Structure 1
Amino acid sequence: MKKTLLLFLLIAFTSCYQETSIAIEGDFTTSYANLDESIPVIIKIDNKITGADAYEWTFEGGNPSVSNLKNPGEILYSKQGTFTIKLKASNVDGESREFTKTVVIKDGINIEFTHEIVKSNYSPVEVILKNTTIGEGLTFKWEFQDGSPASFTGKTPPNVVFTTPGEHVITLTVSNGFESEKQTKTITVAPYLVSLFTYEPKFEDDDYEAPVTINFTNKSISATSYKWSFEGGNPAVSTEENPTVVFTNAGSHEVTLEAFNDKTSHIYKTTITVLPDTNLRILTNIKLGINSAHNNNNIGAMFSTVTRQVYKANEINDQNSSLIDIVFQGLNSNFTYNKFVSPDQANNYGFLSLKNAQSTIFVNSQNLCNCGLNFTEAQFDAMVNDTPVKSLNISYTAGGAQEFGFTYPRIILFKTQDGRKGAIKIKDMVKNGTSSYILCDIKVQKQ
């Protein structure tokens, strides 16, 4: 009876028992590697699902695109967009669940833009901008230093105008919502156009006596072409950058330079005063050393009325020796024996010979020449043109060539090889040992 009862209970228990299935629970998460949301992007998968023993992953737009691993690890995305990650998890009990998430991949930023200057970089400068930056979902912010407009939001800005000379920075900031990048370019605006010039007469015309040849030096800024006008000049007009002009007549002459570039023009004017021709060159405070001063290269004893320079022994060469027309001989520092001698006779008076030397006639002692000459210091001081010396009969005589002693002021007359007449006034005789010298003014015909 007991056995029958136990068997009955066992059958009843077994018939009441039903098997329980394992549930699939949890979820998976995604994260951006290095917090970088711009392509290329790596998405990290962290699978926290339990109760599954089979996994079917699908990664839209990703690499790899599918996986059967529980933890597929890192997925690479190389294109911008919004992509779906799907997981189907299942187990041997026939349980199955699907999980879905989306990831947003933002475009990387690679800024590309160019600029083109319209016409030239002379003010005002107009700039065309071309934005070739590639990408979706990008925003663009432009800044134009001292430009008009000063800023712009959008991919392609209008043309920008820069007026102020100098460097101006164009800045483009591009953002994808996660990060921003900047790129700059510099526009250089040339200085404002300025018309300006200087001028200088030829060396022989530096007294501005007619006729005067003047060299003009163009100092204009930001100019590409020029238009000159010369009142009373020859030529009267010119388009050269640096012209040379002759003014024949005395008076005031207006000179105008209009400078141009491809944007504008500017005018500069000045007046040049040409003096009447005196045909007289006036040279003041000329120091001429005694022989020892010259030969020791302290103070020269030789002078050229052409170059208007004093020459010491070591300054004389084959190029300037033929231009020397005055030679002073001073035998000692006490000035007991002095005379002016012809350059072609210099070697007879304690100097080296001069190559291609000139022949100049000197009247050292008018009172001894017996030639009717009596040109006074007062006449020298009053002489403002060559009229007083034109009629002088300056010729060589032994008496006129005689030396003189320590006496000043004194007038010495001379005539150069090319026929120019002149006078020397000794104003002082400075005793300074071997560096002694005379101080004189010279007035000589220019031609």
Structure 2
Amino acid sequence: MKKTLLLLLFIVITSCYQETSIAIEGDFTTSYANDDESIPVIIKIDNKITGADQYEWTFEGGNPSSSSQKNPGEILYNKQGTYTIKLIATNVDGESNEFSKTVVIKEGLNIEFSHEIIKSNYSPVEVVLKNTTVGEGLTFKWDFQDGMPAAFTGKTPPNVVFTTPGEHTITLTVSNGFESDKQTQTITVAPYLVSLFSYEPKFEDDDYEAPVTINFTNKSISATSYKWTFEGGTPASSTEQNPIVVFTNAGNHEVTLEALNDKTNQIYKSTITVLPDTNLRILTNVKLGINAAHNNNNIGAMFSTVTRQVYKANEINDQNSSLIDIVFQGLNNNFTYNRFVSPDQANNYGFLELKNAQSTIFVNSQNLCSCGLNFTEAQFDAMVNDSPIKSLNINYSAAGAQEFGFTYPRIILFKTQDGRKGAIKIKDMVKNGTSSYILCDIKVQKQ
């Protein structure tokens, strides 16, 4: 009887224990921190499991790789892939349950590409593209501004050609399915090739009378080399960028410039007309002031047939004083006493002494010199070369150097220190106080 009672009590106690065992229920969830699914990725875990006392977490590919905490916090993933998060939950009652979740970690976007121009950036420009962006499961979209092709989808595009001068963008957009990013690089296409030049004669040859020395200025665009030909010139050809050429014969001379680069070439032509040599320099409307005008720096009284410039007192220096070959003395604004004087005698006629001054012979009064000179205004006007004055005997005489008064038109003959002969025609005498001046035309043999 006693044994039967004990057996019944054991059965009751065992039944009560089974009825009070705690079940492990619920689940856990995962989420992406900041909704960022591309590496580096942080996975947050929210554990809503009940009935467990112990937790054994395993994080495949994660950092940390395991945990025994109920809430393991945040798990870091640095590599793209699909990973399993597993939890084995147990309790003191011997209950056990296993849970698992899969997380997808996408490749981070680190765009890297480069471009290389084949040959040069002269149009057309062919570009080779190299895509070194690392990652799996990425998509690539290329856009080529004004290029051929204009767009491409894929990791490695074909060569792209740009023809229009200017800047053009190459844009690569990369996507991992969750987010996208882009990178842009710029291609510069040089202007189209243009062959062009201008030219200018040397100062002493600006009348284009033979022989003429011409300075050529190359204005070509996008050229790397040049081929010149000069019809009737010396040299007859050249590969210099800016050559200097002499044309010795009168006539029309064709000049050709072929400009080249590694893609194409272009030709430009022009004609230079060289005139027959007259050996005569013609200068018109030269103003020469009286002494007061010169010394007050209003209108110069000194002139150089070499530089073809009038000089006032404050414009004369050690460099140009030796080039002055004509000096006009106008004693007053009524022009009662006038003469042309040799530059080396200027200091005797109210001017400062000229350094390294030239000696020029002037015949101010042909009718008084008794030297057989009678060069008229009509002869001056008709003179188109140096023949009329070439045979004139222009020598110094005190009578010929005499002053003259307010009379014009008037012809004054002269001979420079280097032997060039010339004539001055006074066309007007302008009375204007201390700014009075004479107006002249000058014809002189060339150097």
Into which bin does the TM-score normalised by the smaller protein fall?
Answer: over 0.9
Distance in 2, matches of 1:23 and 1:124, equals 77
Q: Secondary structure of the residue that 1:366 maps to in structure 2?
A: coil
Match of 1:378 in 2: 378
Q: CA deviation at 1:11?
A: 6.1
Match of 1:162 in 2: 162
C-alpha change, 1:385 and 1:77, in structure 2 (3 Å) is same
Distance in 1, matches of 2:201 and 2:10, equals 138
The answer to whether 1:268 aligns with 2:268 is yes
Distance in 2, matches of 1:364 and 1:15, equals 157
Match of 1:184 in 2: 184
Distance in 2, matches of 1:319 and 1:24, equals 111
Match of 2:402 in 1: 402
Residue correspondence of structure 1 range 249-328 to structure 2 within 5 A: 249-328=249-328
Distance in 1, matches of 2:379 and 2:387, equals 11
Amino acid at match of 2:437: Y
C-alpha change, 1:417 and 1:84, in structure 2 (3 Å) is same
Match of 2:330 in 1: 330
Q: CA deviation at 1:53?
A: 1.3
C-alpha change, 1:13 and 1:398, in structure 2 (3 Å) is closer
Cα-Cα RMSD? 1.6
Match of 1:35 in 2: 35
Distance in 2, matches of 1:397 and 1:226, equals 59
TM-score, normalising length: structure 2: 0.96
Q: Secondary structure of the residue that 1:384 maps to in structure 2?
A: coil
Distance in 2, matches of 1:319 and 1:11, equals 139
| Structure 1: runs of 5 or more not aligned | none
Q: CA deviation at 1:17?
A: 4.2
Match of 1:248 in 2: 248
Amino acid at match of 2:366: Q
Q: CA deviation at 1:13?
A: 9.2
Q: How many residues align?
A: 441
Q: Secondary structure of the residue that 2:367 maps to in structure 1?
A: helix
Distance in 2, matches of 1:84 and 1:382, equals 112
Match of 1:118 in 2: 118
Q: Secondary structure of the residue that 1:367 maps to in structure 2?
A: coil
List structure 1 runs of 4+ shifted beyond 2 angstroms. Answer: 10-19
Q: CA deviation at 1:286?
A: 0.4
Distance in 2, matches of 1:357 and 1:253, equals 41
Distance in 1, matches of 2:343 and 2:99, equals 117
C-alpha change, 1:41 and 1:386, in structure 2 (3 Å) is same
Distance in 2, matches of 1:59 and 1:79, equals 13
The answer to whether 1:127 aligns with 2:114 is no
TM-score, normalising length: structure 1: 0.96
Distance in 1, matches of 2:14 and 2:54, equals 32
The answer to whether 1:24 aligns with 2:24 is yes
Match of 1:367 in 2: 367
Q: CA deviation at 1:12?
A: 11
Amino acid at match of 1:43: I
Match of 1:92 in 2: 92
Superposed CA deviations along residues 150-174 of structure 1, whole A, max 9, x for unmatched, are 1111111111111111111111111
Match of 2:358 in 1: 358
Q: CA deviation at 1:16?
A: 9.5
Q: CA deviation at 1:14?
A: 3.5
Amino acid at match of 2:188: T
Q: Secondary structure of the residue that 2:207 maps to in structure 1?
A: coil
Superposed CA deviations along residues 226-274 of structure 1, whole A, max 9, x for unmatched, are 1000000010001111110000000000000001111111100000000
Match of 1:339 in 2: 339
Q: Secondary structure of the residue that 1:29 maps to in structure 2?
A: strand
Superposed CA deviations along residues 297-318 of structure 1, whole A, max 9, x for unmatched, are 1111010001101111111111
C-alpha change, 1:390 and 1:16, in structure 2 (3 Å) is closer
Match of 1:14 in 2: 12
Amino acid at match of 1:206: D
Distance in 2, matches of 1:302 and 1:150, equals 71
Q: CA deviation at 1:15?
A: 8.0
Superposed CA deviations along residues 405-426 of structure 1, whole A, max 9, x for unmatched, are 1111111111111111111011
Q: CA deviation at 1:366?
A: 1.1
Distance in 1, matches of 2:251 and 2:431, equals 46
Amino acid at match of 1:277: D
Distance in 2, matches of 1:162 and 1:11, equals 97
